[in-house]
Chains A and B, each alone.
Chain A
Amino acid sequence: MFRRLMFNLPAWAQPEHPILRYMLQRYRNREPRWRRLIRIFLQVLAVAMVVLLGFLLATDFGQREVSTLHAVLYWPLVFLGVLVGLGAMMLTSNAITMEKTRGTWDSLRITSHGANLAFQARWASVFYSLRGPLGVLLAARLVFVVAILIDLTQYYRGRYLDLLLSGITPTVSVPVGAALLAATMTAAIMQPLVAVGLDAAVGLLLSVLVRDPRYDILVRTLLGGTRVSLAVVAIVLGTQAFAQADWMVDLGRWVTLLAGLLVVITVISLLAWLITRRLFTGIARRLVFGLIVLALIVGGLVVISGIKLEEGPWLRSAGSVTAILAQGVAGDQGLRLLTLEESGPLWADVEYGILVGLLLLVVTLFQAWLAGRIVSLSSRLAERAE
């Protein structure tokens, strides 16, 4: 069965492939025993300190009792997730530079699909390199999933899910609620892996776009800072949404208007493309089409800034769902949704909040697709003559 599953993998992911074997052999541990022990000791110490910090945050620095394991491990796992994403980005952002340093880059480029295979293997090797922290993130999520299953079994004689679903909007049956909960769990389990894949792909793209070693460190620092800032903003958004902050209504208003604007621009742009194809050719066609789209965007933003939507629960829902989705994608990777103590009130407080997990799953699938496309784009750009 193992061989049959391997048969379905791409060629560059097959264990016999020379480039992948070369990438993986580099990770064979060659450090002396004493250095390894010191490294392990420091890692264990760092983990203990982070978990202690998580415990202090969960108990408000000793002012309240510990409620759940999820509360204690939440912030350490979020911190680890952000570090893993940064690590994935940094591991691939110097792909070309490293190959050039070894003197293998020119050989790869002239080999048929050599650069492409090297990029794919490099991308795949990131998962191996980060297997430890990824394993911790996945194991923790599996523990939380099991905890949810235990709660569903032991409380209220199996009626806990029914009670959580009662009174929510929209009204859903228990099987549908179970399916949506399963979607939430699936998304939360897949998110760390997909996030690493996307971060690594972005790193590969960066390595192609910035080939001058003089700017390498600067760009990597900026990219890392941006990644961390995004995570912080996303988590703050989600926290405010869970707390039902009043400005979720304003966020909902802007999300609704921008979504409508996007639909209108897409439709008109498609029509404009069809028309300009017939009337213009070459650069003139692209110029006219570009001007039309630009005018649509600017004009659309001006128009929607003056629109006042009637306030209602749906506006708050739109804002809250968007903020929680942002938190799940760029912040905690769906971790906060892996406990019924958070999910349950979300379903009850936010209309259509029960759909957040399904939306997160859709976005996760999109991220996985995007990561693949970025890796392909990077390898195509890398193969072009410098």
Chain B
Amino acid sequence: MTHRYRHGWLLFMFLVLQPRRGLPVIGLLLLLLILASVALGSTLPASLANLNPGDCPQPGWLELCPGHTTRAQALAAIESNGWARPGTLQDSTPSTFQVTSSVEFQTAESPVYDVRMRFVDENLTHLALLPRERVTLAAVFSVFGAPSHGEVCLGHVVPANLAGFLSASAPAAPALPSGPQPSSSGTYNSLLSATLFFFDGAVEVQAVRLQPLPLASFATSVFTPARSHAADWLISPDMLVARIVYHADLLNVTGLGPLSPDWQGFVTGGPPWPCP
């Protein structure tokens, strides 16, 4: 190490240790870098995953607005825009005594969704998107922002549309230990399921993540308390979206009620309860 670089190292030490000199420089630089990262991220090409919300009074998909679009309008929009893959459009025309009807099709554009719409008295009440390709939670958050409510649970049924992406064998139904399990060994496949509600129930998203969880995740000790493996059940951007449902009636959203937990950010909590 040459004489000059040796003192350069000392100089760095003193610049850092002299708060009047070092602190403003380092702190300001980091703040600028963080703000630049956020700004740069917002300019990246949007991977909206074909979830364009369109121009609806409440969240919708493309030109299909729950609570406002009629069945005839929906069919016309699908045909004129070529959204449906040829041969996949199914229209159950309601009979005289039926008030509900449905329209289903598969999208032509990627990522491919199975689209299922339900109409009551010719008005669109529910619109469900079931991805047939990998759509991650990151894309959903990019489109809808922060959820209003959210919770996770440990499930054991792999959504059929995701079976090809997850483990070929369905995860074993986890028999959750009833209490602390000291020194447990072995693993079992756990399906972590997150149910998120956006805009107070206007949009419901279910996302899953399959991962092996050691039974020791539920063990407790001074160094590994029960929540120390909470990263295993954190909602993460790489979770696969199983379905997206748009609701028209915000007062009657299944699974969302007065006791539904508000979205509190990426909290730890856990281990989560089994899914109902």
A365 touches B23 (CB 8 A): yes
Interface with B: A205-213, A267-275, A345-353, which one?
Answer: A345-353
> Complex formed: what's the CA distance from A15 to B230 in Å?
51
Residue of B31, B138, B265 near A166 (CB, 8 A) is: B265
> Complex formed: what's the CA distance from A185 to B16 in Å?
13
Give min CB distance, A117 to chain B, whole Å.
15
Which of B10-64 touch A at CB < 8 Å? 10-11, 13-17, 19, 21-23, 26-28, 30-31, 33-35, 37-44, 46-47
Residue of B16, B35, B37, B266 near A190 (CB, 8 A) is: B16
| Residue A242 lies at the interface, judged by CB distance under 8 Å to chain B | yes
B30 touches A182 (CB 8 A): yes
| Residue A218 lies at the interface, judged by CB distance under 8 Å to chain B | no
B27 touches A162 (CB 8 A): no
> Complex formed: what's the CA distance from A9 to B267 in Å?
46
Residue of B10, B17, B265 near A167 (CB, 8 A) is: B265
Interface residues of A, CB < 8 Å — how many? Answer: 69
Q: B39, B43, B138 — which one has the most chain A CB atoms within 10 A of its CB?
A: B138
A243 touches B226 (CB 8 A): yes
Give min CB distance, B25 to chain A, whole Å.
10
Residue of B6, B16, B212, B234 near A64 (CB, 8 A) is: B212
Residue of A2, A157, A361 near B41 (CB, 8 A) is: A157
Interface residues of B, CB < 8 Å — how many? Answer: 66
B138 touches A156 (CB 8 A): yes
Interface with A: B81-89, B140-148, B168-176, B200-208, which one?
Answer: B140-148
| Residue B262 lies at the interface, judged by CB distance under 8 Å to chain A | yes
Q: Which residues on B sit within 8 Å (CB–CB) of A179?
A: 31
Q: Which residues on B sit within 8 Å (CB–CB) of A154?
A: 41, 44
Give min CB distance, A92 to chain B, whole Å.
15
Q: A24, A128, A157, A245 — which one has the most chain B CB atoms within 10 A of its CB?
A: A157
Q: Which residues on B sit within 8 Å (CB–CB) of A2?
A: 8, 11
B141 touches A158 (CB 8 A): no
Q: Which residues on B sit within 8 Å (CB–CB) of A190?
A: 16, 22-23, 26
Q: Which residues on B sit within 8 Å (CB–CB) of A149?
A: 33-34, 37
Q: Which residues on B sit within 8 Å (CB–CB) of A194?
A: 16-17
Give min CB distance, A242 to chain B, whole Å.
7
| Residue B164 lies at the interface, judged by CB distance under 8 Å to chain A | no
B42 touches A245 (CB 8 A): no
Q: Mark A165-209, 1 if CB is under 8 A from B, else 0.
A: 111100000110011011101100110011001000000000000
Q: 3 tightest A-B contacts by CB?
A: A158-B41, A348-B265, A158-B42
